[in-house]
Amino acid sequence: MARYRFHATNGSACVFDAVGRAVRNPERLQRRAAEVAQHVMESLNEGEDWSEWRVSVHDLKGRRVLVQPFIRRAEDMAQAA
């Protein structure tokens, strides 16, 4: 099982993941990145423009393995309907 760090940024503000999370299957990285994005959106300013935010996933050697844009709540709700 590999450990990955899930950092969130809009290019100027950053939320760093110093601990990381063990992910058994690399195919689950996108789902975990979406969970991180949701948590950041719930934790930070509700008036924030999330369109520039991304989750950048790195292995413990620092190699970037995935960059995933935040998904806005309205888009999530439309897809769920």
Amino acid 37: pLDDT:
94
Instruction: Determine which helix (DSSP H) or strand (DSSP E) holds 79, and give its type and residue range.
Output: helix 73-80
By CB atoms closer than 10 A (0-12, 13-18, 19+), residue 20 is middle
Contact residues for 9 (Cβ-Cβ < 8 A; gap 6+): 15, 53, 54, 56
Amino acid 80: pLDDT:
47
**For tokens 């620092």, what's the residue?**
62
What is the reported pTM?
A: 0.82
Instruction: Determine which helix (DSSP H) or strand (DSSP E) holds 5, and give its type and residue range.
Output: strand 2-9
Q: Which of 28, 22, 18 is nearest to 3 (CA)?
A: 22
Walking along the chain (81 residues) 10 residues at a time, the average pLDDT comes out as: 95 94 93 94 85 95 96 52 47
